[in-house]
Structures are given as structure tokens and as C-alpha cells.
Structure 1
Amino acid sequence: SAPTTASARASSLTFTDCQSYSNPVVFFDITIDDEHAGRIVMELFAHIVPRTAENFRALCTGEMGFGYRQSIFHRIIPDFVCQGGDITNQNGTGAKSIYGAKFEDESFEVRHTGPGLLSMANRGRDTNSSQFFITLKKAEHLDFKHVAFGFVKDGMDVVRRIGELGTKDGKPTETITISDCGQIFLSCSMFEIVFPELLLNQGSVLRTSR
């Protein structure tokens, strides 16, 4: 895990501080052993960590020719984290970012203050790539070591269900797959999430290619 950097702010930011209607919203459709389990909708803190958010957004859409679609959650520890994003080896040993093999820690402003935080998994300082995790509880010991870059806006019930399939050593008891993913655009008039089934004919959802 990466050490504390001098540029990190002393005060923590809450979800309310981090939310912005200009931030990108993305989704994962989840299957558990090939059965649909639901959708996770996430807001990315592009106004705080733009490079980190852009990496995750582009991996959700697959616009660079690779991404999260059909990747798995390979490490799940109950009451701690659900980790995925190994888009190369599918077992936690690989990863690939839109910037290359890895990229630098951007900011540690957002703290791991509760469940539903999106944060980058790493192998030390400045080793971010495509692997990420979603917290299942407050995890202060991860602050200043992992870059938190978003939160679960809807579908925390799906995240909790995934968390129940974990073990102490992290190996899931079932196969949890991101069967589809992409970006969801906000309604300009109501600032509400517009879901894909309402917009497929209007070009308002950017998805991974099939």
C-alpha cells in the first residue's frame, strides 16, 4: 500500500461534499453464477480526482478497446471489501489502465468513511491500474494509501449480496461477473439518473461494445 503524501489534505470529505451533477455516472450489471443479480450505479468524483475517474469511466464504456465487461470480482472479504478489475488475468495478478500499465496516485482527499466507497487497489505508491474495490464498511486504515474516487449511488443491496459471497482468504464462493457496464447520462431538466432502458433510442447511454 502507498504511504501518506504531503499533498493530502488534513480534513476528510463527505459524500455530500463530493457529489456534483457534472460528475460522470456509470453502471455495472452483475451476474452471480450466470444469473442476473442486479445493477450497481456509481458516481465518480471527476471534480476531485479527474484522471482516476476518467480511467474508471473509460474502462466502464470500453471505448479504448478494453474494459470491465465480462471481468470478475476476484477478491471478496465479508464486512470489508469487494475487489475486481483484473481485466487481463481475472485472478488479481493483472491489470491495465487507459494510461498504460499503471499511473500515479492523484489525491487522498476522499477518505474511506463508510460502505459504498469506490477506491483504487494498488501494489504500493503510484501503481494504480484497473483494479478497484468497493468498501463494505468504514475503513480508515486505507486512508492515504488508496485513492477513493467515487461511491455507489444505487444498488448497494447488490454490493452487500456480493459481500456475502466472500471468505476470510478473499476467494469468492461463487463467480461474480460484470456482465455489462457503461456510462449513464443525467437528465438536464431534473438532475436524475436516466436509466438505459429509457434512452436506448436516444443515444444517451454509452456502453461496452458487444
Structure 2
Amino acid sequence: MASSLTQPPPPLPSLHHPIPKSNLTRRSLLLTSTATLSFPTLFSSASPTQPPNPTITDRVFMEFSLCPNYYLPNRTLGDTISTLCSDSTSLGRVIIGLYGNLVPRTVSNFKSLCISASSSNPDSSSYKNTIIHKVFPGQYFLAGHQGRPERGDVRPPNHLPRNTETVDPKAFALTHSRAGVVSLPLSENDDDDEIKLDPEYRNVEFLITTGPGPCPQLDNKNIVFGTVLEGLDVITAIASTQTYQPGERIRQFNDLAEFFGDERAQNARTIWNRPLTTIYISDCGALEVAKPSLTPSLP
């Protein structure tokens, strides 16, 4: 009896689960420590993407006019826009703000061809007395086509620096989201191949969206470098001009000729969407910017 009273009480049940035997090896510990150290480093070093800087650093103006005589069949060899369009009708002035901080080279080249309109050198390249060669209703119009000045084309500007922004992804940050967006056309550029093959070729075509809606098909393909600040009514007037539109039969023949590699197919398309009334840039130049400012809304 005495011996039973001296026995120790039975152990109480444990309130915790037993810790299982660890199966960690030196390799797993090394991988775990590496992952723990690398993830914080990765996230701490990542910097947020900088938004585009649409500050208007420069302003230019363009005067647009209608010329009723340019396509007359009785033209002489020495006739140019300046001689044929002396009685032209003014459509008005458009003021364009340029994003010099975002795409400085594109802006500089565009501004150079606006300023050279007042140059005393008659052989300088300029947008003055050059035509709007394509109008796509409800979308945009194209200007600045290179070629022969007597035909209303821009003289090839071989003196301009090469535009390296055409291969810079940051230059394509802005979109064609409304009317009045000004951009450098890369996918829509229709300069002649013989001009593009020149080692000194510089693209100076430009397009302006006419609205009323956006043009998402132009995004990520063309460099937006400016916006229309004043004169959207002039842009609307240009967009409403009648253009040459081929019939369905002509389009089918053209597609067939292109399929068989006939070069005449591409040549025939050069007059498609051409305004039936000549619209041209009768004057252009630069305006002073007292203080750079942000645009009212991002294009």
C-alpha cells in the first residue's frame, strides 16, 4: 500500500503538436536564404515608369489655303504654286505646340522646315508652298511629301541631322486619341522609294488627326510630337474636302496587279485620297513661347 502512494502521477497530455523532424538540407537552406535576400532587393531597386512629358516648348504657325488653278491642264513648265495660286482662298491659321522635352530631335527637324520659309535661300527645304497630298476622311491628313518643289513637294532636306528617335521606344509614348494630334508618320509615310534609298534621306512628312474620334491604328507606329492649340476649325475644313476615291472595280484590278508584282499598282495608288481641290501651306514660321506649359489634356 505504501509503495503505491509513492509512485509519480501520470504525465499530462501535451497541448502542442510535436515538432516534426526537419528535412532541410544545406542546399535547401542556401536556396531559401538566397530567395529571401533577392526579392526585397529586386523590388527596392525597381523604379516606377516615368510618365511622358508633354510640355510645350515651341510653337509654330501654318497658314492653309485653297488653290483652284493648280491642276489646270494648261500649265507651263515654269509654273509653281506661288505663280498659279496668287488668287488662292485662305482657310486660316493653325498654331501647333511642340513637345521639345519629349522628342527634341523630331521637334527640331519639324521646326527647321517651318522657319526656313523665311530664309533668303530659295533652294532651302521648307513646308511653305507645299501641298496636303492625302486626306483620309474622319481620320487624318498627310503633308510634307518629298519630291519636286514645282509640284508642291518638299525639297529633300539632306542637311538635317539623323533622327534617332525613330528607334527609341519612349518616343512612341503618346497616342492619337483626339483631333489635332500632330505626329511623324513612319508606317504611313509614302515618300517615293528612290528618295528613301538615299543615304541622306530624312523623313519630314507629318500628319494631323482630324477627328471626330481617335485613331488607335496610328498608335505605337508614329511619333506624336505636337498638338493643335488654335485653328481646329481649319483642320475640320481640310478634312471635309472631297478626295479622289477609286471605284470597287479599280480597287480589285489594283489588288490583282499588286499580287502579280506589277509596280504600276503602287503608282496608281499615289492619287487615291488626294484632295480634288489643292490645299497647300501658304506660309509658316515659329512663334515665341514665353513660358513652357502643359497641354490642357494628353493627346
User: Which residue number in structure 1 is paired with residue 14 of structure 2?
Assistant: none
Alignment of 1:161 with 2:215, yes or no, is no
Unaligned stretches of 5+ in structure 1?
A: 1-9, 192-210
Question: Which of 95, 109, 116 pairs up with 2:180?
Answer: 116
Of residues 142, 157, 160, the one that matches 1:99 is: 160
Contact 1:122 1:146 in 2 (8 A): yes
Distance 2:129 2:153 in 1: 15
Q: How does 1:150-189 map to 2 (within 5 A)?
A: 150-167=226-243, 168=245, 169-187=272-290
Query: How far does residue 144 in structure 1 lie from its aligned partner after superposition?
Result: 1.1
1:135 aligned residue (187, 209, 220):
209
Q: Which residue of 2 aligns with 1:27?
A: 61
- CA-based RMSD: 3.1
> C-alpha deviations, 1:145-169, integer Å up to 9, x for none?
1111001010010011001114353
Say how many residue pairs are matched: 175
**Which structure dedicates a bigger proportion of its chain to helix?**
2
Please, which moves more after superposition, 119-128 or 44-53? 119-128
- Tell me whether 1:37 sits opposite 2:91 in the alignment: yes
Give the whole-Å Cα distance in 2 for the aligned partners of 1:93 and 1:71.
6
CA 1:24–1:118 in 2, change beyond 3 Å: closer, same or farther?
same
CA distance in 1, matches of 2:228, 2:137: 17
Pairwise CA distance, 1:176: 0.6
- Kindly state the Cα deviation for residue 19 of structure 1 after the two structures are TM-superposed: 3.3
By percentage of residues, which structure has more strand?
1
User: CA contact under 8 A between 2:66 and 2:278: conserved in structure 1?
Assistant: yes
2:125–2:155 CA contact under 8 A, matched in 1: no
Tell me if the contact between 1:75 and 1:171 (Cα under 8 Å) persists in the aligned partners. yes
Give the letter for the 1:46 counterpart: G
- AA of the residue aligned to 2:207: F
Q: Is the 8 A contact 2:105 2:163 kept in 1?
A: no
Aligned residue for 1:170, secondary structure, equals: coil
Q: Which amino acid aligns with 2:175?
A: R
Moved segments of 4+, more than 2 Å = 10-13, 87-100, 122-128, 166-169
